[in-house]
Amino acid sequence: MENKASSKTIMLVTLATFALVLMLQIHTGEGACPAAYDDPCTIPNTLCCPTDPTLHCVEVADMVYKCKDDPICEDHAGHECYPGYFDCCPGLTCATNQGGGLTCQ
């Protein structure tokens, strides 16, 4: 009889622990945004993350989409630009950087 009681107790403790871990994972993942600035995305003119209304999916080159915080132009010096698709905001110019890539400067 003692074996049955202890095995039931162990099983209940295991289930309770599993449920607690599962609840914690769900709770901590709620506010987390899987997308970050410059991450690739697939659907243009949509939010990259439902919890961050500033990140929009923007076409930066032909059929190339990335998460940007400004759907019109790139306003960060050092960030990628693509003339004709994703230009720099006034005050910055799209130019070749030391590594050979195009960035706003």
Give per-residue pLDDT as tens, 56-97: 888 888 889 999 886 578 888 898 888 877 888 889 999 999
Residue 42: both structure tokens together: 């697939």
User: b or e along 11-49 (b: 16 or more beta carbons within 10 Å of the residue's beta carbon)?
Assistant: eeeeeeeeeeeeeeeeeeeeeeeebeeebebeeeeebbb
**In the chain, where are the structural domains located?**
1-30, 47-104
The percent of residues above 70 in pLDDT, for the chain, comes to: 72
pTM for the full predicted model: 0.47
Q: How many CB atoms lie within 10 A of CB 83?
A: 12
